[in-house]
Amino acid sequence: MILQSVIDIAEICARKGVQNIVLSPGSRCAPLVLAFARHPQLRVRTVSDERSAAFIGLGIAQQTQKPVVLVCTSGTAAYNYAPAVAEAFYQHIPLLVLTADRPPEWVDQLDGQTIKQSHIYGGHVKRSLDFPVETHHADSQWHATRLINEALNETVAFPEGPVHINIPLREPFYPEEGESFTYSSDVKIIEELPSSAQMSQDTLAALQAELKNFNRILVVAGQGRKDQALQETVQNFCRATGAIFVTDTISNQQAEGATINYHDVFLAAKSAKTEPTLQPDLLITFHKSLISKNLKLYLRGQQSMQHWHVQPAGQVADTFQALTRIIRAEPKAFFQQINSTELNTQVAPVFANAWFELNAQGKSVLERFQENSPFSEFKACHQVLRNLPANSLLHLANSMSVRYANLIGVSELENVEVMANRGTSGIDGSTSTAVGAALSTDKLVILLTGDMAFLYDRNALWHNYLPKNLRIVVLNNHGGGIFRMIEGPRSQPELRPFFETDQRQTAQKTAEDMGLAYLKVIDAKALATALPAFFDLTAGPQLLEVETSSPENYEVFAAYRAAVQDKIGLSSS
């Protein structure tokens, strides 16, 4: 007889708004599989590779902004969830991770598929809970129900994130023939209402008064979802004060002419790094991580500035080694409140003019270089990003893909939202995450990835749910080309065999095996010809491989870097 408390896990999830379950097959997890698979209100998908399954679940949760439940069997299956769990933790994505386990008395007794699963994810989950082994007593049933409620509430409490429940299960795993299998109609549901995310009037008044002391204010947005209302309220603050708004590609806050989008270009120039008119005296940040190393290094060098970070709850990172104030508020509420009365602050015009002048130079240098440069993966990325369909979703794999995209930028006029696994910045689940997103939207989902990231995550496509709206662009330089761009490994004799990890595979066989239409291009003309059909939303899933040479990519990028050093500089300097 399967425990009723295990069956009711699915019922609690459904009543609390969970819609998507991603499970991986196994025997020990059979009671959980049956409970979820038979529930009429839940969408259940099976993905055999636990690592891919977890990233697909992450992609679904990232897109829907609702908890996704992961279910796996005992043993090393649980460890394969770890990369996605860590990514979800740092990217604040709600996952409920359910790992089936042997009863505790069998741990360390050389029984099959048995490892130490309790608290297996360490500090990379918000909470780690152990489900009761027996729930025959009324108190144990209450305990089990309470744990599931608490776990789901915790996944969506700010900052959202993964919660792990380890569930020891005894045999029998399957109901006997004729045995009833029903969900409890009176299962207990515990709801948690959100707290206020606004500042008190005293705090607001103090901050508004303090703003008068600054005349070089820089606002920087980290990784976040597209939010038009937030963008407008930050821009209202900038218009009222003369502050400058800097936006990475993954911030999804770019506004042509109103925000600084090409900082990753011009802050690479020595002349910009030492330009005194650029230096802020107050930095205001919100949301998560930045891509731009140039921006991070630049701000870490501004040790005389104050740094306010706006975040309603949770641990705050001191990314720029300058943190002076944590403001507990939602960013949108903070800027709305701070704008609510007349602000007497006015940023020095020379500060604003310097940022916008260099931003214009950065864009000009980038576009002119792309127009005149030979074909490379950098140019290919430019072609792809300048031809994205409106209202599409762009996923960026880590390594060079996300860096190229941050330099090139995405036009906000096309209403493209940009996503990337920048919580841990690993290559291991980029494709799986994009697949999860494509399963959760009718929009075209475009993944821009390198060959190493794509080959590493091929099992993202090994299932029965290949989305028709998925498009994958693979930049194949036959190795980890990013290491040729970095001074350290580039100068070592071991570069090619041990850092770039030379490989001669293409994506063709994977595309054919997994059911994606395949096309390879090797020059700009062929790429331009291919893109319209590739971006056609009515076509099925497609993979476009752009084959380039790693040494030639380096030569082109080195020429770009030289152009930045030569062309960037304030006219008044």
Return the minimum-mean-pLDDT range out of 92-96, 165-169, 260-264, 493-497: 493-497
Q: What is the pLDDT of residue 106?
A: 86
Mean pLDDT computed over every residue of the chain: 93
At residue 479 the predicted structure's pLDDT band, cuts being 50, 70 and 90, is confident
Q: Is the pLDDT of residue 253 over 70?
A: yes
At residue 507 the predicted structure's pLDDT band, cuts being 50, 70 and 90, is very high
- The first and second tokens of residue 204, run together, are 């607001």
Q: What is the pLDDT of residue 572?
A: 61
Q: What is the pLDDT of residue 23?
A: 97
pLDDT digits (tens, 9 = 90+) for 383-426: 999 999 999 999 999 989 999 999 999 987 789 999 999 999 99
At residue 487 the predicted structure's pLDDT band, cuts being 50, 70 and 90, is low
pLDDT digits (tens, 9 = 90+) for 539-551: 999 999 999 998 8
Domain boundaries, the chain: 4-168, 201-358, 373-567
Q: What is the pLDDT of residue 499?
A: 62
Instruction: Report the distance separating Cα 340 and Cα 327, nearest Å.
Output: 17
Regarding predicted confidence, which is higher, 194 or 483? Answer: 194
At residue 481 the predicted structure's pLDDT band, cuts being 50, 70 and 90, is low
3 state DSSP class of 51: helix
The DSSP element (H or E) to which 95 belongs, if any, is strand 95-101
In what order do the strands lie in the sheet containing 517-521? 417-420, 393-396, 445-450, 470-476, 542-547, 517-521
CA angle in degrees (0–180, nearest 5) for 440-253-202: 110
CATH topology for 4-168 is: Rossmann fold (3.40.50)
Q: What is the pLDDT of residue 337?
A: 95
Most confident segment among 68-72, 137-141, 274-278, 408-412: 68-72
pLDDT over 90, % of the chain: 83
Instruction: Report the distance separating Cα 402 and Cα 436, nearest Å.
Output: 19
Q: Is the pLDDT of residue 329 over 60?
A: yes
Same fold, 201-358 and 373-567: yes
At residue 176 the predicted structure's pLDDT band, cuts being 50, 70 and 90, is confident
- The first and second tokens of residue 114, run together, are 């048995």
The DSSP element (H or E) to which 286 belongs, if any, is strand 282-286
Give the closest residue to 144 by CA, choosing from 161, 122, 166, 127.
166
- The first and second tokens of residue 167, run together, are 């569930």
pLDDT digits (tens, 9 = 90+) for 282-313: 999 999 999 999 999 999 999 899 999 999 99
The CATH architecture of the domain made up of 201-358 is 3-Layer(aba) Sandwich (3.40)
CATH topology for 373-567 is: Rossmann fold (3.40.50)
Cα distance between the two ends of the chain: 80
Contact (CB, 8 A) for 463 and 48:
yes
Instruction: Report the distance separating Cα 81 and Cα 90, nearest Å.
Output: 15
Q: Partners of 96 in the beta sheet?
A: 69, 163
Q: What is the pLDDT of residue 1?
A: 59
Instruction: Report the distance separating Cα 205 and Cα 148, nearest Å.
Output: 42
The DSSP element (H or E) to which 327 belongs, if any, is strand 325-327
Phi, psi of 276 (to 5 degrees): -65, -30
pLDDT digits (tens, 9 = 90+) for 4-52: 999 999 999 999 999 999 999 999 999 999 999 999 999 999 999 999 9
- The first and second tokens of residue 405, run together, are 């995209």
> E strands along 432-469, which residues?
445-450
Return the minimum-mean-pLDDT range out of 94-98, 136-140, 147-151: 136-140
Q: What is the pLDDT of residue 422?
A: 96
In what order do the strands lie in the sheet containing 68-72? 43-46, 20-23, 68-72, 95-101, 162-168, 127-130
Give the closest residue to 219 by CA, choosing from 92, 338, 340.
338
Contact (CB, 8 A) for 412 and 254:
yes
Q: What is the pLDDT of residue 131?
A: 96
Q: Which residues contact 372 (CB under 8 A, 6 or more apart)?
A: none
- The amino acid present at 48, given as its one-letter code, is S
At residue 172 the predicted structure's pLDDT band, cuts being 50, 70 and 90, is confident
Q: What is the mean pLDDT of residues 104-119?
A: 88
Q: Which residues contact 566 (CB under 8 A, 6 or more apart)?
A: none
Q: What is the mean pLDDT of residues 439-459?
A: 96
Q: What is the pLDDT of residue 15?
A: 97
- The first and second tokens of residue 300, run together, are 């870490």
At residue 135 the predicted structure's pLDDT band, cuts being 50, 70 and 90, is confident
